[in-house]
Amino acid sequence: MADSTDAGRGAPGRPRRSGTAFPRRGAEEDLPVQPSLTIPPPTPPGRRDLASLPKAHLHLHFTGAMRPQTMVELALEQGVRLPPHLLDLDPLRVPADARGWFRFQRSYDAARALVRSEPVMRRIVREAAEDEAVEGSVHLEMQVDPTSYAPWVGGITPALEIILDEAASASADTGVHIGIIVAASRIRHPLDARTLARLASRYAGREAGRVVGFGLSNDERVGTTSEFSTAFHIAHDAGLAAVPHGGELLGPESVREVVAALAPQRLGHGVRATEDPDLLDRLIDEGIAFEVCPTSNVHLGVYTDLAHVPLPTFIRHGATVALGADDPLLFHSRLLAQYAAAREVDGLPDAALADLARQSIDASLAADGLKASWRRRIDAWLEAPPQHAAPSALPSETPDEQAGRPDVPR
Ligand SMILES: [Zn+2]
């Protein structure tokens, strides 16, 4: 947390360099200081501070949650040479095709190769919890495929147990309640997904440091969705929510397949379901929530810019949306920046931003009692006056906006 707030203010999604000095040694002395991703966005006059808005973060991958500076420190400790583009101060940005995904995956794999011990695994969970606390998250659901870390800690069971144990203690220390989503990978055999589902089922629960859901990640274009349905049945029987990725790289037809085969409670992304309004309405009627990750969509080339991410469409249709950051390590943008973008790019007033935070709580897999207490804290955030009065020349919100009915041009 030490490097999180001392470097001044920056625009959302465009963090500046942290003021913390990078330990310099020998040939690495030219390595740039990596950006801190928890620098709060400026609060416009007459508006409320988004960092104090209680919210749930439901789409964050384990390695993708690593702080950029931690990645560089681990590489130095281990004597590993990182690909030059991972040391760029500019975040990854790729086209939404197979080559783009390959570049994304290669970057992710290079970072993941640094995670090869229990202390490093614990550090990632701990720092993610600290970063969420700075951004006002009250609840985090972190996705992990323990297969990737199993070789270094004695198998998938210890790999998951390390993460669950650290999630429990980091929850107690930071006040951010953490549940874990075990996510199978589309690029592995569906039998591996069943093994993971059985493992996840043994640790199912709603308390901090338990497994709350079962996911399916990696390139949507790989694998046959229906072949993963048995794994999702195993998870379902253990009380785990189904939270697969879908509708990010592929369109409505793929979303239909995911819904039919995996019976999701939430869709990881699901943004391209908006291309078929009837489908979108049907998903909403079925109670499926959407984990919308605007910066990730732009950096993976799904949309050209934040203004084209269909958040306003979801809102108009009455969908339940939880904003998420996906892989802050590569996109250099955490959860708070997604809320700041909804304010600045989509023009959402504070009441609508509070609604989004409420929806993130609604869509979370936390216990009902906790959800109720978090909703009361969101109400209190909205009832409190903005910190700084709006100058008379800059009216803050129209009555329509205060009622949470933004009219956002598309
Ligand atoms: Zn994801």
Give the tens place of pLDDT for each residue, 97-134.
878 788 888 889 999 999 999 999 999 999 999 999 99
In a domain? residue 410? no
Rounded to whole angstroms, the Cα distance separating 284 from 321 reads 10
Answer yes or no: is pLDDT of 285 > 80: yes
Per DSSP, 37 falls in state S
Catalytic residue, candidates 127, 132, 141, 248: 248
In a domain? residue 110? yes
- Whose tokens are 């495929």? That residue is 145
Rounded to whole angstroms, the Cα distance separating 56 from 77 reads 33
- CATH number of residue 237's parent domain: 3.20.20.140
In a domain? residue 18? no
CB of 55 closer than 8 Å to CB of 353:
no
Answer yes or no: is pLDDT of 403 > 60: no
Q: Check residue 321 and give its pLDDT.
A: 98
Q: Check residue 398 and give its pLDDT.
A: 46
Rounded to whole angstroms, the Cα distance separating 68 from 86 reads 9
Q: Model confidence at 7, in pLDDT bands (50, 70, 90)?
A: very low
Rounded to whole angstroms, the Cα distance separating 182 from 202 reads 12
User: Among residues 291, 293, 300, 270, which one has the least CA distance to residue 282?
Assistant: 270
248 as an active site residue: the answer is: yes
Positive or negative: CA dihedral 234, 235, 236, 237: positive
How far does residue 389's CA lie from ligand 1's centre (Å)? 38
Answer yes or no: is pLDDT of 6 > 70: no
How far does residue 36's CA lie from ligand 1's centre (Å)? 21
How far does residue 318's CA lie from ligand 1's centre (Å)? 23
Parallel/antiparallel/unpaired status of strands 266-269 and 321-323: unpaired
Answer yes or no: is pLDDT of 4 > 60: no
Answer yes or no: is pLDDT of 27 > 50: no
Q: Check residue 390 and give its pLDDT.
A: 53
> How many structural domains compose the chain?
1
In a domain? residue 178? yes
| Cβ atoms within 10 Å of 395's Cβ, excluding its own | 10
CB of 50 closer than 8 Å to CB of 41:
yes
CA-to-CA dists, residue 377 to 200, 366, 372, angstroms: 31, 15, 9
Answer yes or no: is pLDDT of 12 > 60: no
Domain that residue 358 falls in: 46-402
How far does residue 141's CA lie from ligand 1's centre (Å)? 12
Answer yes or no: is pLDDT of 366 > 70: yes
How far does residue 245's CA lie from ligand 1's centre (Å)? 7
In a domain? residue 4? no
In a domain? residue 293? yes
In a domain? residue 239? yes
What is the percent of the chain where pLDDT is above 70?
A: 87
Rounded to whole angstroms, the Cα distance separating 365 from 241 reads 8
Answer yes or no: is pLDDT of 267 > 60: yes
How far does residue 249's CA lie from ligand 1's centre (Å)? 11
- Provide the residue type at 200 as one letter: A
Higher pLDDT, 129 or 390: 129
Q: Model confidence at 35, in pLDDT bands (50, 70, 90)?
A: confident
Q: Model confidence at 8, in pLDDT bands (50, 70, 90)?
A: very low
In a domain? residue 186? yes
Q: Model confidence at 86, in pLDDT bands (50, 70, 90)?
A: confident
DSSP states of 356-400: HHHHHHHHS-S-HHHHHHHHHHHHHHHHSPPSSPPPTTS----HH
- Provide the residue type at 276 as one letter: D
How far does residue 31's CA lie from ligand 1's centre (Å)? 28
Name the least confident of 11-15, 157-161, 168-172, 347-351: 11-15
Bridge partners (DSSP) of residue 269 are 246
Q: Where are the alpha helices (DSSP H) in 140-262?
A: 150-153, 156-174, 190-202, 229-237, 252-262
Q: Across all residues in the chain, what is the average pLDDT?
A: 88
Q: Check residue 91 and give its pLDDT.
A: 82
